[in-house]
């Protein structure tokens, strides 16, 4: 059953152009859902509508069956973690965490103990008496996380909370947030434009574009079976080839300018124009024996990442990328012609 429900939610600031356009999504209790999309896609506006900092122009927002649409932020038991931390510089870490308890008139004798416990949960128990200026960026973000959790919210909203951190610290905080989510079992709605964050942290991902929802699904479902080219391009690297359902073979497509290929996806009527998508990591170097599907690739560049190599080139004039695990023994260099193979189940068919 849905715990947090958005039903046909619309938000327009000028009465003409929707910033959020008819969004509907059901979120289960304890679920971690990430709103993913480029800048201006409506994901942060959706978060603000849930928090009560904005009111919808249409539709409803429900929490545990109660309509939140017109409630003020303080009337919703919802926590919020901002990208810029928003800590009070004159308060210590423990007093920052205690602040929501004071605003909600928690008993005075409980506030300090509850705040201290929450700082210990985020690994900052020994830093309780430090001011924000005495803490690193990652530590400040942990304080903000503790403050958002301290009053036992029904839902915790996180608006690109790791955007200001460096790569290593960002990865550490991803693990910390997932650990806290697992330990507390709280419902979390997380906003980011970082595909890696969405893939590694989420139970489900909601992909936004131009204020509308393009796809909602598990990370692997959204990655392996995107509903359209936008989702396929936005999440990870992809190769796209114009194709047409084969007239003679129901399990084959004709790759325009390349040749026939066998696929595992169910195909529409013969002659229908399609797009065939193959992730770079699905391609493999082909040995002498023939494979079910093959590409001949003219190498333009080889990039070594240590644990893998990225081959960049063309096949019959179409751009092509292949990511090969490890360090192949082959002498791969610019100008070389190589063969790449792929299985029918490695491709995904999309509408044009």
pLDDT means over runs of 10, the chain (352 residues): 93 92 96 95 96 94 92 91 88 94 89 93 92 91 92 94 82 89 95 92 96 96 95 94 88 92 89 94 81 90 90 94 83 88 93 89
Residue environment code for 183-207, b if the CB has 16+ CB neighbours within 10 A, otherwise e: eeebbbbbbbbbbebbbebbebbbb
The stretches of 83-217 forming alpha helices (DSSP H) are 93-103, 108-121, 137-149, 167-184, 195-201
- Say whether both 229 and 244 belong to one domain: no
- Say whether both 334 and 292 belong to one domain: yes
Task: Report the pLDDT value the prediction gives residue 5, as an integer from 0 to 100.
Answer: 96
Domain boundary residue among 233, 251, 270? 233
Domain boundary residue among 233, 264, 294? 233
- Say whether both 209 and 272 belong to one domain: no
- Say whether both 226 and 251 belong to one domain: no
- Say whether both 33 and 106 belong to one domain: yes
Domain boundary residue among 213, 233, 253? 233
Task: Report the pLDDT value the prediction gives residue 329, as an integer from 0 to 100.
Answer: 63
- Say whether both 81 and 214 belong to one domain: yes
255: CATH = 2.40.50.140
Tally the domains of the chain: 2
Give the contacts of 139 (CB within 8 A, at least 6 positions apart).
124, 127
Torsion of CA 252, 255, 258, 264, to 10 degrees: -40
Sign of CA dihedral 194, 195, 198, 200: negative
Task: Report the pLDDT value the prediction gives residue 51, as an integer from 0 to 100.
Answer: 95
134: CATH = 3.40.50.300
- Say whether both 158 and 70 belong to one domain: yes
- Say whether both 168 and 277 belong to one domain: no
On whether the CB atoms of residues 263 and 217 are closer than 8 A, the answer is no
- Say whether both 288 and 261 belong to one domain: yes
Q: Kindly report each contact of residues 95-104 with a partner whose C-beta sits within 8 Å and lies 24 or more positions away, as own/partner.
A: 96/132, 96/143, 96/147, 97/143, 97/146, 97/147, 97/150, 98/150, 99/147, 100/147, 100/150, 100/151, 101/150, 101/151, 103/74, 104/151
Domain that holds residue 245: 237-351
Task: Report the pLDDT value the prediction gives residue 288, as an integer from 0 to 100.
Answer: 61
- Say whether both 187 and 228 belong to one domain: yes
- Say whether both 229 and 248 belong to one domain: no
Q: Residue 34's beta-bridge partner residues? A: 190, 205
- Say whether both 250 and 332 belong to one domain: yes
């Amino acid at each position: 059953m849905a715990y947090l429900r958005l039903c046909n939610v619309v938000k327009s600031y000028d009465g003409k152009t929707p910033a959020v356009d008819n969004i509907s999504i059901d979120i289960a209790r304890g679920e971690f859902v990430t709103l993913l999309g480029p800048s201006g896609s409506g994901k942060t506006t959706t978060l603000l509508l849930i928090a009560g900092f904005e009111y919808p122009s249409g539709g409803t927002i429900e929490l545990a069956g109660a309509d939140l649409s017109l409630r003020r932020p303080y009337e919703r038991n919802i926590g919020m973690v901002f990208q810029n931390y928003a800590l009070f510089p004159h308060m210590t870490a423990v007093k920052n965490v205690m602040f929501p308890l004071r605003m909600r008139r928690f008993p005075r004798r409980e506030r300090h103990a509850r705040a201290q416990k929450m700082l210990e949960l985020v690994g900052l128990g020994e830093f309780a008496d430090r001011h924000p200026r005495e803490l690193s960026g990652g530590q400040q973000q942990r304080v903000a996380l503790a403050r958002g959790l301290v009053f036992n919210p029904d839902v915790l909203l996180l608006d690109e909370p790791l955007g200001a951190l460096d790569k290593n610290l960002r990865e550490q905080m991803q693990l910390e947030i997932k650990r806290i989510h697992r330990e507390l079992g709280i419902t979390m709605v997380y906003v980011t434009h970082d595909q890696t964050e969405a893939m590694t942290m989420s139970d489900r991902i909601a992909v936004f574009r131009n204020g509308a929802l393009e796809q909602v699904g598990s990370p692997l479902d959204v990655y392996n079976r995107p509903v359209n080219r936008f989702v396929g391009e936005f999440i990870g690297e992809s190769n796209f080839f114009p194709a047409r359902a084969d007239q003679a073979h129901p399990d084959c497509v004709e790759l325009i300018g390349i040749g026939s290929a066998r696929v595992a996806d169910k195909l529409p009527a013969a002659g229908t124009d399609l797009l065939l998508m193959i992730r770079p990591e699905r391609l493999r170097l082909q040995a002498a024996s023939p494979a079910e599907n093959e590409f001949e690739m003219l190498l333009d560049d080889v990039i070594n990442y240590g644990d893998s190599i990225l081959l960049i080139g063309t096949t019959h004039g179409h751009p092509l990328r292949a990511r090969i695990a490890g360090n192949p023994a082959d002498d791969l260099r610019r100008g070389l012609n190589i063969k790449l193979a792929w299985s029918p189940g490695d491709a995904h068919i999309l509408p044009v």
